[in-house]
Amino acid sequence: MVENLFEQTVLWSVLTAVLWVFAARGARRLAARPTAVSMRRRSRLGLVLLCCALVATAVRAAVALALVGAAGWLGGADYLLFGTVPVVVGGLAVAALTLPAYLRVSRAARGARGDTAPDSSLDMASGAAPGALTVAAPEAASGTASDTASGAASGAASGTAPDAARGAVPDAAPGTAYDAASAAEPVAAPGGAAAQREPSDALRGLAARTRLVVPVRACCVAALLGAACTLHPPTPPYTGMFLLQGALLALAAGALTLFHQRRLDAPTARALRPAPRTRRLLRTSALLTCLAVLGAGGWSMAAEHSRLPGRMGGSSHTHAYDTGGGPSAGSGPARDVADLKGDHEGKPDRRFTLTATDRTRHLASGEKVAALAFNGRLPGPELRVRRGELVEVVLVNRDVEGGVTLHWHGVEVPNAEDGVAGVTQDAVGPGRRHVYRFRPARAGTFWYHSHQQSSTAVARGLFGALIVEEPEKPGDAGGAGPDVVDRTVVAHAWAVGGATSAGGPPRGGAGGDSGGAGGALSGVNGTGAPLRTALGDDTGPRKEKVPAGTRVRLRLVNADNCPRTYSLAGTPFEVAAIDGNPVHRPTALRGRLLRVAGGGRYDVTFRQPAGPVQLTVVGDANASSASHGFEGCGEDGAYGAGRPETASLLLAPGAVTPKETPEPVTGPVFDPLHYGTPTRAPFGPSPSFDRDFSLVLGNSFGFFDGRPMVLWTINNAVYPDIPALLVHKGDLVRTTFLNRSLDDHPMHLHGHRMLVLSKDGKKATGSPWWTDTLNVAPGERYEVAFRADNPGLWMDHCHNLDHARDGMVLHLAYDGVTSPYETGSKTGNQPE
């Protein structure tokens, strides 16, 4: 609904603007028609056009109102205020002033043609002869009709022979009503001659009246500005911008009136005469040149203005805060991100080394990938630890030019261990190392990945699974035991066929242009390298023998940008955990598709039946870029159009003939909102929240870092202009996500987990649904809540990493926390 209304808003704003442009052009040129007949035709056409524009305006207003109704005030306020209100006001003026003026011209012109009796109801001044057209005296006083009069007078004054022949009123003075008997051309001359006759000055005067021309032109300006504000909406707060827009439009209307007045008062009253062809040509080319110069100037100014500074300071943190209705900044204890470290003193319980390299690697199929890999593996090695253990991971960057970091996706690590280049550390350059230490507080399925140039780093392979098991009960919550199969299945689309360095590596992810932020990782795209979906490094079917009765846990990790849809066929199953958070008493599902957010995880469990069970990924990674113009996730909000991929995992007690392989399930898609059994959560849907944030995810046409593109915006802004969400430690925070854009956005909050309160206004009623990466599909609205209990500066961004690279990033900032690190091209830190 919201998605549809959003699209309609954009569509109608453009259509409305186009119609008003034509209507304005018609109104301006009506007086200059060469013959009475063509004037009559044009006035009728103009009437039709005006009616169309008014209807379009009404529809535009209705759509904007409906959007506000469906998505709330914040979801549609900008479209209503900037795109609708001014053009509706203008439309009302047109309906009140211009429509009657047009009707009058149309009638007068009909009379002028001579084949119809003039409309006797038309402004019959007392004593005027039948068939005579009179400009009503009361109007003359208004100063509007005086245009007509003075126009006619000046026309007469110009004294050209045809004027004289038509008997222009010689003594018509401004402010005086005059009898424009000649306007009606009373003699029913033989049709052809009358049709060829020039309109009288009086008729031209009617067609050149201010009320006929100016309101339409003002409305055109309002509609054009409204369309611009719809395609590139202003950032909140809106009050000042709205007042400014109103003032600008009032000025424009005044200027248009003055301008029109001057044209009418000019000695030759140009508005009443068709300009010579050469002059029109000159004028048009001058106008086009002006527009071109303005356009080019505006373009380069906007491009330049959008360029990111070479250094963006975490320490200065100059950008604005969104306080969410809570206390403003200044009272929190001053702390440095670098001090918010894990335990770097004690002896670690687990120690890993991850070495990043830039080499061509091979998938199991033999296909080449221009990979960035940890320990030479695609994906990186799976790390298994126990809850509460002190984990140490040494990151070594052997030769990844652009630098590497390690982010522990979904784990509430201390801020300094979060691995975001330029926010919590500097990127680790070639030949350097960095030590991370943390104690995972919850068991579950997580993953790690580089957060330096992450859109390319993750696409090319710098990621792996991180599994946290319960310390006491291995085999129950995850650890492998004799009767338990526990498998991590990482789905990823690899760009195959690439060679290293020389030609620049192809980019993976969801396809589309690279445009990247520079450095070795972004490489040169456009090679059109095909994406192959793999489970791990395997793009083909994989088989595993599992005795019947064995308890199986499959940990599905989606290491891609777009949602992934999975089919698990051959058995009922439970969704045991979402994003590493156990579901309370899950119930058995059968025939449901599972859609996992980009960066999200589902644990599914089942007991192996006597027959085979098959996990497949539905949807072709290549279909997405082809079917969607905005490097998006495809028409159905996920990869591809529902075709099963070749990558699959078959679990069976014995040999399986192709016939016995279960068909992929067809849906519907599982929704966690009402799944599982309710249990106590630390906070519910309706306590009072300390802060309440609203994030509208949208599209806008604009520039990012000098490049024109379709922007992915949050509250109509892109990084670094999106205000940081300000919190104090201990705050209970509610955030509303509303997606009125054309693509899915898996919103990922670092260092915290969010409890889903509602979706599209429907309360969550099942097991508490905790998530760290929430896919918000077009049109969806989610309310989530979290406790601000982990001080630091945290990323809150779209985990479609291409969107993040293009600015869909903001921060959750604890008051008083500052970072000594900086991002930007001059710093070597480019988190996305």
Applying CB under 5 A, the residues found at the interface with Cu ion are: 745, 798, 800, 803, 808
283 to 24, 143, 274, 276, 814: CA distances (angstroms)? 17, 29, 13, 11, 59
Residue nearer to Cu ion on the CB measure, 147 or 802: 802
Residue nearer to Cu ion on the CB measure, 261 or 800: 800
Residues 6+ apart with CB under 8 A from 660: 611, 612
Residue 803 beta carbon to Cu ion: minimum distance, rounded to whole angstroms: 3
Residue 501 beta carbon to Cu ion: minimum distance, rounded to whole angstroms: 30
Neighbours of 414 (CB within 10 A): 21
Residue nearer to Cu ion on the CB measure, 145 or 808: 808
Residues 6+ apart with CB under 8 A from 462: 356, 372, 373, 374, 380, 400, 404, 449, 450
- Give the helix ranges, DSSP H, for 511-589: 519-522
Residue 802 beta carbon to Cu ion: minimum distance, rounded to whole angstroms: 8
Residue 721 beta carbon to Cu ion: minimum distance, rounded to whole angstroms: 17
Tally helices (H) and strands (E) across the chain.
Answer: 17, 38
Using CA atoms, how far apart are residues 538 and 560, in angstroms rounded to an integer? 15
Using CA atoms, how far apart are residues 459 and 505, in angstroms rounded to an integer? 11
23 to 43, 220, 251, 276: CA distances (angstroms)? 11, 8, 21, 22
Using CA atoms, how far apart are residues 396 and 152, in angstroms rounded to an integer? 87
Residue nearer to Cu ion on the CB measure, 27 or 633: 633
Residue nearer to Cu ion on the CB measure, 752 or 803: 803
Residue nearer to Cu ion on the CB measure, 620 or 806: 806
Tell which phi-psi region holds residue 570, choosing left (phi > 0), alpha (psi between -120 and 50) or beta.
Answer: left
Residue 625 beta carbon to Cu ion: minimum distance, rounded to whole angstroms: 15
Residue 832 beta carbon to Cu ion: minimum distance, rounded to whole angstroms: 11
Residue 716 beta carbon to Cu ion: minimum distance, rounded to whole angstroms: 15
Residue 743 beta carbon to Cu ion: minimum distance, rounded to whole angstroms: 6
Residue nearer to Cu ion on the CB measure, 486 or 806: 806
Residue nearer to Cu ion on the CB measure, 459 or 583: 459
Reported for 48-54, long-range contacts at CB under 8 A and 24+ positions apart, including other chains, are 49/19, 49/22, 49/23, 50/23, 50/94, 50/98, 50/99, 50/102, 50/216, 52/19, 52/23, 53/16, 53/19, 53/20, 53/22, 53/23, 53/91, 53/94, 53/219, 53/223, 54/91, 54/94, 54/95
Q: Which of 403, 435, 439 is nearest to 421 (CA)?
A: 403
Residue 798 beta carbon to Cu ion: minimum distance, rounded to whole angstroms: 3
Residue 319 beta carbon to Cu ion: minimum distance, rounded to whole angstroms: 20
- Give the pair of three-digit tokens for residue 188: 């029913």
Using CA atoms, how far apart are residues 230 and 11, in angstroms rounded to an integer? 10
Residue 585 · residue 778 · CB < 8 Å: no
The b/e string for 329-354 (b: 16+ C-beta within 10 A; e otherwise) is: beebeebebeebbbeeeeebeeebeb
Residue nearer to Cu ion on the CB measure, 104 or 745: 745
Using CA atoms, how far apart are residues 335 and 415, in angstroms rounded to an integer? 11
Give the distance from CA 729 to its chain's centroid.
Answer: 31
- Give the pair of three-digit tokens for residue 363: 């998938």
Residue nearer to Cu ion on the CB measure, 488 or 800: 800
- Could you tell me which residues are beta bridge partners of residue 771? 754
Residue nearer to Cu ion on the CB measure, 260 or 745: 745
- The dihedral over CA atoms of 53, 56, 58, 59, expressed in degrees to the nearest 10, equals 180
Whole-number CA gyration radius for the chain: 34
Using CA atoms, how far apart are residues 195 and 210, in angstroms rounded to an integer? 26
Residue nearer to Cu ion on the CB measure, 649 or 798: 798
Residue 489 · residue 602 · CB < 8 Å: no
284 to 33, 53, 288, 515: CA distances (angstroms)? 18, 24, 6, 38
Neighbours of 295 (CB within 10 A): 10
Residue nearer to Cu ion on the CB measure, 361 or 803: 803
Residue nearer to Cu ion on the CB measure, 487 or 803: 803
Residue nearer to Cu ion on the CB measure, 624 or 648: 624
Residue nearer to Cu ion on the CB measure, 665 or 798: 798
Using CA atoms, how far apart are residues 488 and 471, in angstroms rounded to an integer? 19
Residue nearer to Cu ion on the CB measure, 49 or 747: 747
Residue 758 beta carbon to Cu ion: minimum distance, rounded to whole angstroms: 21
Residue 745 beta carbon to Cu ion: minimum distance, rounded to whole angstroms: 3
Residue 739 beta carbon to Cu ion: minimum distance, rounded to whole angstroms: 9
Residue 435 beta carbon to Cu ion: minimum distance, rounded to whole angstroms: 32
Residue 421 · residue 385 · CB < 8 Å: no
Residue nearer to Cu ion on the CB measure, 465 or 808: 808
- Give the helix ranges, DSSP H, for 176-235: 191-196, 201-207, 210-231
Residue 48 beta carbon to Cu ion: minimum distance, rounded to whole angstroms: 43
Residue 462 beta carbon to Cu ion: minimum distance, rounded to whole angstroms: 20
- Give the pair of three-digit tokens for residue 648: 């699959």
Residue 692: CA count within 13 A, CB half-sphere: 8
372 to 66, 102, 142, 376, 458: CA distances (angstroms)? 48, 69, 77, 8, 8
Query: Angle at which helices 210-231 and 239-265 pack, to 10 degrees?
Result: 150
Residue 793 beta carbon to Cu ion: minimum distance, rounded to whole angstroms: 21
Residue 590 beta carbon to Cu ion: minimum distance, rounded to whole angstroms: 32
